[in-house]
Amino acid sequence: MSKDIVLAFSGGLDTSFCVPYLKERGWAVHTVFADTGGVDAEERAYIEQRAKELGVASHVTVDGGPAIWEGFVKPFVQAGEAYQGQYPLLVSDRYLIVDAAIARAKELGTKAIAHGCTGMGNDQVRFDLAVKALGDYEIVAPIREIQKEHTQTRAYEQAYLEERGFDVRAKQKSYTINENLLGVTLSGGEIDHWKTPGEGARGWCKPRAEWPSEKLTVTLGFEQGEAVSLNGEKLPGAKLLAKLNELFAPYGVGRGMYTGDTTIGLKGRIVYEAPGLISLLAAHRALEEAVLTKQQNRFKPDVARKWVEVVYEGFYHDPVKTDLEAFLASSQRCVNGEVVLETTGAQVTAVEVRSPHILNAKGATYAQSADWGVEEAEGFIKLFGMSSTLWAEVNRS
């Protein structure tokens, strides 16, 4: 008899390959698509049809939007730091996908989980560590298995599927494309070879020639560091981020190329697009800089960078993540107010900040007016620079 296994499924080349590969090895494959907000109704229908034509035992689609907002977007924006100062962790939906797969496995009464991660990337670490943290499960990774014998895995997967009568989308032949509520990542093809990305390496963001001529202005409202409204309308987090993607993508906001250090030690190179997330980060930072103290603004990035590293490297369920989030949440007590964002293309700027918590001095404005005297200013400078001044005096030749 076939054994039940749950496969985290996206309909892409890798997970499509996994279905017949697992079936031919005696598994009854149950696919789960965790819709984390990166696809429209047409694409969702395609994924469901793809699972059906591949001959899965069952397929379910799970709404992952609320979970990805609460489990990732909210603490990530409150942290306010990208990985290595560049990458906005767009693959962090992997942890929510694991949650959905584990829930389905419990429904089926199986302890077998499969994924389509390669043996060269970071996702395998995220998937495996998340699964191990949630229970005693058998992990099957078909792409890692075929890499023992085949070096050109994408070409092998494509041929494998076509030999069995399954078509492969044209884009999937060149690129690995991941879409979710957070944004789009593209790798493969010329990107992997350190060359200029081709025209096919584009997701939501429009090229320069197609940007609208009129300026875009939006207002975001925050409560304790969490975005809660857009242009005065209260919205659930996932819907708010989806709307920001829709508004800012036509202006090319949030598109970039990231080259950095992967968890496993290789250099990674991807094209990413995150119009909504980059806009959220810009608004939150502008508000935060105005309401936090100097010491908070100096220290918080250290905590944020550690949180980002932990999540990037697969330790989503490590207790240190919860510890770090306790500090982040505490720092957001007074991050309340509204921020006006503007863009004419590519860059987004916070042009106005409104909050009852802005740290304004009643009698002073920077570089304009002060409620202290010249003697006080001179005395402050003397004491503040005492150590450096003494060093210069003592060691002056």
The model's pLDDT over 34-76, given as tens digits with 9 standing for 90+, comes to 998 777 889 899 999 999 999 999 999 999 889 999 999 999 9
Q: What is the mean pLDDT of the chain?
A: 93
Are residues 193 and 58 both part of a single domain? no
For residues 167 and 146, give the distance between their C-alpha atoms in angstroms, rounded to a whole number: 20
Mean pLDDT of 332-350: 97
Average pLDDT over residues 362-379: 80
* 19 and 166, same domain (yes or no): yes
Residue 68 in domain:
yes
Same-domain status, 308 and 370: no
Domain membership flag for residue 178 = no
Can you give the residue range of the structural domain that contains 389? 364-397
- Arithmetic mean of pLDDT, 370-374: 82
pLDDT at 259 over 70: yes
Residue 251 has what pLDDT?
98
**Residue 162 is assigned to a structural domain of this protein:** yes
- Asked if 11 and 91 sit in the same domain, the reply is yes
Residue 108, domain member (yes or no): yes
179, part of any domain: no
160 in the same domain as 94? yes
More confidently predicted of 218 and 167: 218
Residue 359 lies in a domain: no
**Is residue 173 scored above 80 in pLDDT?**
no
- The length of the chain in residues reads 397
Percent pLDDT > 90 in the chain is 80
Q: Are residues 337 and 370 in the same domain?
A: no
Q: Which of 151, 173, 195 is the last residue of a domain?
A: 173
Shared domain check, 329 and 200: yes
Which residue from 211, 187, 210 is spatially nearest to 200, judged by alpha carbons? 187
Res. 213 pLDDT band, cuts 50 70 90: very high
CATH code for the domain in which residue 104 is found: 3.40.50.620
Confidence bin at 236 (pLDDT 50/70/90):
very high
**239 plus 314 within the same structural domain:** yes
Continuous segment of H or E residues that includes residue 218: strand 216-223
Residue 172: pLDDT over 70 = no
Write down which residue in 117, 147, 173 finishes a domain.
Answer: 173
Q: In terms of domains, do 152 and 51 share one?
A: yes
| 250 & 395 share domain | no
Residues 252 and 307 in one domain: yes
Question: Does residue 206 lie within any of the structural domains?
Answer: yes
Task: Read off the pLDDT of each residue in 294-303 and give the average, rounded to a whole number.
Answer: 96
**Domain containing 344 — which CATH number?**
3.90.1260.10
Assess whether pLDDT exceeds 60 at residue 1.
no
Segment 85-94 shows an average pLDDT of 92
Report d(CA 80, CA 324) in Å as an integer. Answer: 13
Q: Is the pLDDT of residue 24 over 60?
A: yes
Which pLDDT does position 2 carry in this prediction? 67
Indicate if the pLDDT at residue 367 is higher than 70.
no
What pLDDT band is residue 372 in, cutting at 50, 70 and 90? confident
Q: Where are the alpha helices (DSSP H) in the chain?
A: 13-23, 41-54, 65-68, 74-79, 94-108, 123-134, 142-146, 153-163, 170-174, 189-192, 237-248, 275-291, 294-312, 319-331, 374-384, 386-394
For residues 144 and 247, membership in a common domain is answered with: no
Dist CA 19 CA 237 (whole Å):
34
Count the domains in the chain: 3
H or E element, residue 349: strand 347-354
In this structure, is residue 395 part of a structural domain? yes
Query: How many CB atoms sit inside 10 A of residue 35's CB?
Result: 20
